[in-house]
Amino acid sequence: MSGRKHIVIIGGGFGGISVAKKLKKADVDITIIDKNNHHLFQPLLYQVATAALSPGDIAVPIRAILGKRKGLKVLLGKVTGVDKNEKFVSLESGQKVSFDYLVLAPGAQYNYFGNDDWKRYAPGLKSVGDALQIRERILLSLEKAEQLEDPKLREPYLTFVVIGGGPTGVEMAGAIGEIAKRNMMRDYNTFSKNETRIFLVEAAPKILNGYPDSLSERARETLEEMGVRVLVNTPVTDINHQQVSFSEGAIDTPNIIWAAGVAASPLLSSLETEQDRTGRVFVNDDLSIPGHSDIFVIGDAAHKEDENGNPLPALAPVAIQQGEFLGTSLQNEINKKERGTFYYVDKGTMATIGRAKAVADIRGFKFSGFFAWILWSVVHIFFLIGFRNRFRVFVEWMWHYFTFKRGVRLITDRFSKNEERDNS
Ligand SMILES: Cc1cc2nc3c(=O)[nH]c(=O)nc-3n(C[C@H](O)[C@H](O)[C@H](O)COP(=O)(O)OP(=O)(O)OC[C@H]3O[C@@H](n4cnc5c(N)ncnc54)[C@H](O)[C@@H]3O)c2cc1C
């Protein structure tokens, strides 16, 4: 490398990519390391899982986003540790990469609250692989139901349970509701849409916790109108390959999807600095970690409080704003200027429930229904990376809106084999 400062960025998600883009013209060397070769637009992952979009619509190679630039290196590899004092990171392959400045943006993962064996029966939705696995389970289940003449025997295959009533669980339950109560049902002959059952299970007293009461109530009503049964105050006590259990009762189904708690990346513990209950690292106002002004943590991995002392939510706009702030700060630092203090600008929150149905809270202005859904669609198209993806997603959505048809319904044998193994 040259005599220029070397900035290493771990993670090519919303946070990491924003830092790298801001630094595009800066006089620095940059290495961005990710265990995947692509940036993933996670907010639309549930649409891949429910056969509305293809993986290529929402994932873009990191190299393609950042393009060619002197001193820029993209490394495919999993970072396993950070040495703060010697200033290098270690990769699973054994490679070591030294840095002048380090940005950690490794995101979060699902938290099974100590029941890690549930993961194989109730996958979470975090990667393209997860989405394809869930999609295949749903499609295979409908195929199995089609083969069974006895309604009692096919009931579990026509039952879907989503655990966790946050935005992802709501979106997922709504999308399955659309498939199972309308879109794909005309393709099957043995069973009717009245036989399909979709449950959204939440341990807390309401879904969309953190949203205003009126919007979470509206979301619950909308889901129920779509045929989704919402069970609140219902913590899960056990999960196996064919059943999810609660303190009172159980539901028989192999179709269980986990959208409950999240925990920050396990990589963060190698920083040996204070972490909150979910593993997020406490950061200073400039997003550096205490005692190390050259190491920064951003996005879902960082615990940063707002002016009222509440931790910022794990949302894409937080990661993007922190990434942009840090890119500018690092440029300032290299030009011997002040770094500044990070402030989050909250532009509002939205969750979609289904076709023409969403809820939104934009700076205290609360609304739901068609207008909220249009706004949700415009914002998501706008933030997708790449014109080609925006165009393709727009065309797909128009097609679904007018035809009620789902696009990508292929079953490959990749996950069916896993499923047989899991069930054995
Ligand atoms: C299903 C789902 C739906 C969501 N919906 C919304 C929504 O509607 N609106 C919203 O604002 N937010 C939503 N979010 C949250 C949003 O996606 C996150 O807040 C955002 O992605 C955080 O950005 P980040 O850069 O911190 O992490 P991420 O975007 O998760 O990126 C982390 C990157 O780090 C890489 N990585 C992790 N560990 C390592 C390692 N050890 N070595 C190398 N690379 C590593 C990963 O491969 C990944 O590319 C959703 C999240 C999920 C999972």
147 CA → ligand 1 middle, Å: 39
The answer to whether the CB of 265 is under 6 A from ligand 1 is: yes
pLDDT of 384: 83
pLDDT in tens, 131-156: 999 989 988 999 999 999 999 999 99
The answer to whether the CB of 203 is under 6 A from ligand 1 is: no
Residue 414 has pLDDT above 60, yes or no: no
Query: In the chain, what are the domain boundaries?
Result: 6-35+77-110+262-334, 116-260+348-423
pLDDT of 329: 96
pLDDT tier for residue 394 given thresholds of 50, 70 and 90: confident
Residue 417 has pLDDT above 60, yes or no: no
Whole-number Å distance between alpha carbons of 259 and 170: 9
Sign, CA dihedral 19-79-136-260, equals: negative
The answer to whether the CB of 168 is under 6 A from ligand 1 is: yes
The answer to whether the CB of 125 is under 6 A from ligand 1 is: yes
What CATH architecture is 6-35+77-110+262-334?
3-Layer(bba) Sandwich (3.50)
Mean pLDDT over residues 64-85, rounded?
94
Query: Exposed (0-12), middle (13-18) or buried (19+): which is 144, by Cβ within 10 Å?
Result: middle
Contact 304, 322 (CB under 8 A): yes
202 CA → ligand 1 middle, Å: 22
Atom nearest to 11 CA in ligand 1: 34
Whole-number Å distance between alpha carbons of 310 and 300: 15
Q: Higher model confidence: residue 319 or residue 355? A: 319
pLDDT of 185: 67
The DSSP letter of residue 198 is: E
* Kind plus residue range of the DSSP H or E element containing 367: strand 365-368
116-260+348-423 has the same fold as 6-35+77-110+262-334: yes
Mean pLDDT, all residues of the chain: 91
Nearest residue (by CA) to ligand 1, atom 27, is 107
Q: Which two tokens stand for residue 71?
A: 């001193």
Residue 184 has pLDDT above 80, yes or no: no
The answer to whether the CB of 136 is under 6 A from ligand 1 is: no
Q: Quick one: CA torsion of 271, 272, 276, 278, rounded to 10 degrees?
A: 60
From residue 283, alpha-carbon distances to 143, 274, 288 in Å are 50, 9, 6
Q: Higher model confidence: residue 121 or residue 1? A: 121
- Ligand 1 pocket test, pick from 130, 133, 315, 347 with the greatest ligand atom count within 8 Å of Cβ, gives 315
- Residues carrying an active site annotation: 171
Residues of the chain with pLDDT > 90, as a percent, come to: 72
3.40.50.300, 3.50.50.100, 3.30.56.10, 1.10.10.10: which CATH number matches 116-260+348-423? Answer: 3.50.50.100
pLDDT tier for residue 421 given thresholds of 50, 70 and 90: very low
pLDDT in tens, 15-64: 999 999 999 999 999 999 999 999 999 999 999 998 888 899 999 999 99
14 CA → ligand 1 middle, Å: 7
The answer to whether the CB of 105 is under 6 A from ligand 1 is: yes
pLDDT of 203: 95
